[in-house]
Amino acid sequence: MINRLVAEAIGTFWIVFAGCGSALLAGGVPQLGIGLFGIAFAFGLSVVTMVYAVGHISGGHLNPAVSIGLMLSKRFPASEVPAYIGAQVIGAILGAGVLYLIASGRAGFVPGGFASNGYGEHSPGGYSLLAGFCAEVVFTGMFMFIILGVTDSRAPQGFAPLTIGLAVALINWAGIPVTNLSINPARSAGTAVFADGWALQQLWLFWVAPILGAAIAGVVYPFIAGPPPSPAKR
């Protein structure tokens, strides 16, 4: 069990460090800024690389909402969910901590939002609480649905990490303007710890909405797909 938890912590560390780091360190630097497209793609690449790296060890959840969605779809034991979530949150905070150490080495550094998720005045596009809630539920629900589909034993094999990473990039392109996009409560918690106080005040949304979306997908996908055929019927 311990090796799986360490793998989850390392994987989530990388998503926060590389994904959020792309926004904080390269997102708005003159002549080096990668913009919305680059940030979204960076998050997708961080997920692809770590799902390939640790997926065979821990399953590559790297996200509390994903662990809960897999549990509800009866692909992951409920008894292991709390430990996985704990490892993911620890990894995310460590990733954000190292990122803070690097970012603060620049003259004039101010934490500000520190790539945290937000709604209302803290939404990149000024979107409301309701808009942010709906976006996080739907984006995470579809993300979970994609994960369940591409990891189904009946799906083409070998492409799951790539498909999941591309889904993350696509979701970020659409979702960053609304809430800076979470779909991952651990990622949100990691950066909120080091951001201005409002980030922790709004953090509840980025736990409740992604988990709700993943839970819906975790129930809906098995209902639509049905049980996999037995070996004798294949």
Angle (nearest 5°) at CA 22 between 17 and 28: 140
Q: Of the candidates 41, 45, 51, 42, which has an alpha carbon nearest to the alpha carbon of residue 10? A: 51
Is pLDDT at 37 greater than 90 in this prediction? no
Tens of pLDDT, residues 198-208: 999 999 999 99
Residue in the structure block whose two tokens are 């949150």: 89
Tens of pLDDT, residues 87-127: 999 999 999 999 999 988 887 778 888 989 999 999 999 99
User: What is this structure's pTM?
Assistant: 0.90
Domains of the chain, start order = 2-225 (1.20.1080.10)
